[in-house]
Amino acid sequence: MTISIEYASPRHPDIKKLLLSSHQLMKGLYPEETNSYLSVSELCSSEIHFFGARQNKKYYGCGALDVKREYGELKSFFVEPSFRGNGIASLIMKEILLTTKKLNLRILKLETGVGLDSALNLYKRFEFEYCEPFGNYVENGYSVFMKKNLS
């Protein structure tokens, strides 16, 4: 299986389907006020580097880098459930880390949810460490905060 990781539009039909699946999952697991995903239009911001994982002409995964003043934030990271276990998440993560370094950002941070063990295991494999809430996030009992120093 050849997967390519490339800049992609959050408005692409495959990507929108992935984002909707991710949003539905979050809505099913956590109270609405604790969900912090970005809308499709927010993901089209100039501060966002958005990536898709494509095989042939179909996208099966996505992830975004939101460039903040002092760090990057991982957003909208999702792989279609039937394609998990094929290394797609690792390929997306490697591209985001490469982009983060090219932009001279020293830290990559993320917020994810408790109980998302596959995601947490991926982040730990890439040497993310637990940290305090950052940006506009607050401790809510549902969120997990992590960071990776890149310097």
Q: Give the tens place of pLDDT for each residue, 102-146.
A: 999 999 999 999 999 999 999 999 999 999 999 999 999 999 999
Structural domain spans, the chain: 4-106
Cα–Cα distance, 42 to 23 (Å, whole number):
14
Fold exhibited by the domain 4-106: Aminopeptidase (3.40.630)
Q: How many helices (H) and strands (E) does the chain have?
A: 4, 7
Provide the 3-class DSSP secondary structure of residue 17.
helix
Count other Cβ atoms within 10 Å, centred on residue 95. Answer: 19
The pTM of the full predicted model, rounded to 2 decimals, is 0.94
Whether pLDDT at 1 is above 70: no
